[in-house]
Structure 1
């Protein structure tokens, strides 16, 4: 898992592979204002979701991980906590679904980061992650989840 601001990541983009660099540049260069919530296609290796929701208690959230796509969470509005755990520390509750590119997991929340506007959280296939956790109070969040095909 990588956590930083979009600007800092772009300043150090030479450290990333071409696909992740193109994904970060896409986030920088795209105006997401007014886009409807839901899935949007870019090309064969990139698509994204505009997600809008209210954060909630960790006990109401779920763990997930992916195999085919990197998850790049880019916060536009609001603040949320995003939980992290290596997948081998979690238990599978729903086997991998190739159509959703997701495996659902359970386990204790031991580590989380707080992400606000301009922050990016990159989740690799080995990163179990739990999103939408309130950071002190319930709050409306609007974010982009960019999917980069590995």
Structure 2
């Protein structure tokens, strides 16, 4: 898991391979204003979701991880906490679904990161993550979740 601002991550070109660099550049170069919530196709290696929701208590959120795609969570508006745990520390609740590219877990929330507009979190296959957690009070969040095929 990596968390930073999109601006800082774009400056550190040596830290990422070409697929992640391409994803970062896509996020920088795309105007998401007016894009509808839901799935949007880019090409064979990239697609993204525009997610809009209100944050909630951690008890109402869920753990997940992916195997075929990296997740780049780019916050457009609002603020949320995202929980993190190595998948080895979580218990499988729902076995991996190839169709959803997701495995769902249960486990204790021990570590969270607060992210807001302009922040980006990169989740790798070994990164269990729990999104939409309130950072203080309930708040509307609009974000892009860019999926990069690995």
Tell me whether the two structures share a fold, i.e. TM-score over 0.5. yes
The equivalent residue for 2:120 is 120
**For structure 1, which segment, 12-21 or 78-87, has the greater mean C-alpha deviation from structure 2 after superposition?**
12-21
Cα deviation 1:73-124 (Å, max 9, x = unaligned)? 0000000000000000000000000000000000000000000000000000
Which residue in 1 is equivalent to 2:39? 39
User: Which residue number corresponds to residue 85 of structure 1?
Assistant: 85
- Verify: 1:137 aligned to 2:137, yes or no: yes
**Matched ranges for 1:47-126 at <5 A:** 47-126=47-126
Query: Which position in structure 1 is the counterpart of 2:29?
Result: 29
Normalising by structure 1, what TM-score? Answer: 0.99
Runs (4+) of structure 1 exceeding 4 A deviation are none
Structure 1 position 149 matched with structure 2 position 146: no
Equivalent residue pairs, number = 150
Stretches of structure 2 lacking an aligned partner (at least 5 in a row): none
Task: Name the residue aligned to 1:12.
Answer: 12
Output the TM-score relative to the length of structure 2. 0.99
Q: Tell me the C-alpha RMSD between the 2 structures.
A: 0.3
SS in 2 for 1:22: helix
Give the distance between the partners of 2:25 and 2:84, measured in 1 at CA. 25
Unpaired segments ≥5 residues, structure 1: none
